[in-house]
Structure 1
């Protein structure tokens, strides 16, 4: 996420330069890229805000011990 924020910051600087120079095609391309980076950053923030717990489950002790069927009592 920090790298994407850095890229977006560079795009802001480049956008201003393109506007100053009158590079209309470049302005449109940069604005499109900035919109995509903004969407990606929002998605990353949403994902980071979600709890990330893992349920390891319960092991099947009979299978783990090498027994596929329960032991019969005689």
Structure 2
């Protein structure tokens, strides 16, 4: 996803150099969406990890 954001940034720079104002605006909308998605992914990756502990065997399961 970061590659997509970086690509959009490069396209925005190109559009600004070329004076493609409509393209710049559209790319900025796409950029905002990509940044929102990256933030969402980051928030999800920071959620608490549940530690389940070591599994145990019942005495009847041992051969």
Which TM-score tier does this pair reach, normalised by the shorter chain?
A: 0.7 to 0.9
Match of 2:7 among 6, 10, 20: 10
Match of 2:20 among 14, 20, 23: 23
Normalised by the length of structure 1, the TM-score is 0.65
**Structure index of larger Rg:** 1
Structure 1 unaligned blocks of 5 or more: 56-74
Distance 2:46 2:35 in 1: 17
Higher RCO (CA < 8 A, seq sep 6+): 2
Distance 1:35 1:54 in 2: 35
CA-atom RMSD, angstroms? 1.5
**How far does the alpha carbon of each residue in 1:3-43 deviate from its partner, in whole angstroms, 9 at most, with x for none?**
x1000001111100000001111000100000011111001
Number of aligned residue pairs: give it: 52
Normalised by the length of structure 2, the TM-score is 0.75
Runs of 4+, deviation exceeding 4 Å: none
